[in-house]
Amino acid sequence: MVKVANDSLFRPLDPAKQQSDVIERPSLGIWKETFLSVIKNKLAVIGLVLLLSIIFLALFGPAMVPYSASEQSLTNTNQPPSSEHWFGTDDLGRDMWSRTWQGARVSLTIGFVAAFVDLLLGVIVGGVSGYMAGRGKLGDRVDNVLMRIVEILYGIPYLLVVILLMVVMEPGITTIIVALSITGWVGMARIIRGQILQLKSQEYVLAAEKLGTSHTKIITRHLLPNTLGIIIINLTFTIPTAIFAEAFLSFLGLGVQAPFASWGTMTNDALGVILSGQWWRLFFPAFMIAMTMFAFNAFGDGIQDALDPRARK
Amino acid sequence: MYIVKRFITMLVTIWVIASLTFLIMKLIPGDPFASDADVLPEEVVENMRAKYNLDEPIPVQYILYLKNLAMLDLGPSIQSETRTVNDLLADGFPASATLGIQAIVVALIFGLLLGIIAALNHNRLLDYVSMVFAIVGISVPSFILAPLLINFFAVKWGLLPVASWGTFQHSVLPTLALAVTPLAVVARFMRSSMLEVMNQNYIKTADAKGLSSFKIVVSHGIRNAILPVVSFIGPLFVALITGTFVIEKIFAIPGIGKYFVDSIFNRDYPVIMGTTVFFSTILVVTLFLIDISYRFIDPRIKLTSKGD
């Protein structure tokens, strides 16, 4: 054998060029990188600040004015917004500012719990179902059973479940939350399953799988980040949907009962009076729902852009 | 084989839903004749209970119900004494279905358009306009939108008729009221997945090949991006074509939405069961069709390990 290269052929590199392959920026990891990218995104920061302000006002808003949410003042009914009553008063002379923020507590709690259940049950059931489908007999069975459970939960009339819960538990906000939680997540599960079914058949996931990447890593590195956009969007819709589902239950006499308020019941109560010009009755609760939605959408868009390396500038 | 298996599974699913509903229904206190019991002699109420088999033990009632159900007989409605549940559904379903399908079509067409336009104008004015529209669309639910639409289009401007049913003009406002929220959701889903797809390498390849942007969007973009919308639309389609309580009430539409709610408050047991079985049948069939459609949208998708 002829030795083609020996040590005499190699020369030391010019010292100035020796550092050229060093990565200047330390690797940050996906979550830290996301965080930095989110706080650089103006829309996301606006959304976050707005969301925190709404939560702050829900906690401390009623205490800022000398009127409680259920205190009636029959000499002061149907007042438009003024320096005295910032959001006006309703037909029983109750202060709308106080009611709006007391209602925020009920509505945000219902919305956040619904979102949390969506995230927990919806994403996990949908994710497992989609991931297991097509993985042998056992995988098919898991997908089949989970999707049939989803169908059964969606098929049972949920008003019946609400009434049963009211019989078993005490009527009130906890019962409403439990009732909404039982079926609220099935839409999310179906959507996530569809997403995972499509994503896992993509070439890069097949490649990762054939290279021996572990299931956990495929799920956390490929499937989850690529589904996050859809998850976030669905979450932003879960919150108002839950808020209005509570309003519907209240309309049927199964929801939050007077004198307690929620954004849903306030918009509902305002229906009869907006046509007579008392716009503030509808405007403030509806505006707050819209602001909550906007805050979530803006923040969600920021996270979504931050997680997608191709969307980064 | 797969179809046969799924068909049997569907029947089992409907049976489980019906059985659980039956159980929950019987667990709830109440009686369809609660208000009659105060004014009528005891014997009359007893006779009425016997007519609807309510004097039998609950397991016997259950078996009797399943027997009738197997022959597609949903039984008599207790509330409207002369009509059967089959009659109620047959009379009301066309109106509910027409309205539901119109709303879905409007939501799909305009939602997809809005979402695609937003994605193609990412972080530009049209994107923000569509986001604001989506937020307003979902923040103003149908039960608020409906009275506003009636007030302006019907009462103030007199453009469209309401409070009746029959002509296409009567269905315009309820369709709009029902379509706005799903339209907003469809737009947001489509925007998000279009953004994802339009960043893929095959889009760049198509662009480099010189394909027109219209062709890229239509033949590469939409097909790869539409799956979340399809998943979302399934359960919604079922909910909308089986009638909506609030909208049908506001617009006085003779649909079946009211039976889902009224039957529960009246403890009209055969109607509760009938609406549930009807709803679940449409549900399992629709979700099955959605599953099948995944394979047509993206042939790489495999639903089972046998490759179906």
Q: Among residues 160-199 of chain B, which lie with CB inside 8 Å of chain A?
A: 185, 188-189, 192-193, 195-196, 199
What residues 241-280 of chain A have any CB closer than 8 A to a CB of chain B?
241, 244, 247-248, 251-252, 267-268, 271, 274-275
A residues 221-240 lying closer than 8 A (beta carbon) to B = 226, 229-230, 233, 236-237, 240
Q: Which residue of B has its CA nearest to A295?
A: B135
pLDDT higher than threshold 50 for residue B13: yes
Structure tokens at B111: 């939602």
* B31 contact A CB<8A: no
Q: Using pLDDT thresholds of 50, 70 and 90, give the confidence band for residue A313.
A: very low
Contact status of A201 with chain B (Cβ, < 8 Å): yes
What are the tens digits of pLDDT across the range A220-264?
788 887 888 888 888 888 888 888 888 788 777 777 776 778 887
Nearest chain B Cα distance for residue A272, angstroms = 9
A and B: number of Cβ contacts within 8 A:
172
ipTM: 0.87
A-chain CB neighbours of B276 within 8 Å are 155-157
**Per-residue pLDDT averaged across A162-176, rounded?**
81
Residue A112 reports pLDDT greater than 80: yes
Please indicate whether, in this complex, the C-beta atoms of A160 and B185 are within 8 angstroms of each other: no
Query: CB-based contact (8 Å) between B279 and chain A?
Result: yes
DSSP 8-state code for residue A306: H
Q: How sure is the predictor about A27, in pLDDT bands with cuts at 50, 70 and 90?
A: low
**Percentage of chain B with pLDDT > 70?**
98
How much is the mean pLDDT over chain A?
Answer: 79
**Which residues from A are below 8 Å from B298, CB to CB?**
198, 201
B57 touches chain A (CB under 8 A): no
Site from A197, A236, A310 to mutate, B interface, most B CB atoms within 10 angstroms:
A197
B234-266 pLDDT, tens digit per residue, is 888 998 998 888 888 888 888 888 888 888 888
Q: Do A229 and B25 touch (CB under 8 A)?
A: no
* Model confidence at A38: pLDDT above 70: yes
- A91: pLDDT strictly greater than 50: yes
More confidently predicted of B141 and B286: B286
Mean pLDDT of the A170-175 span: 79
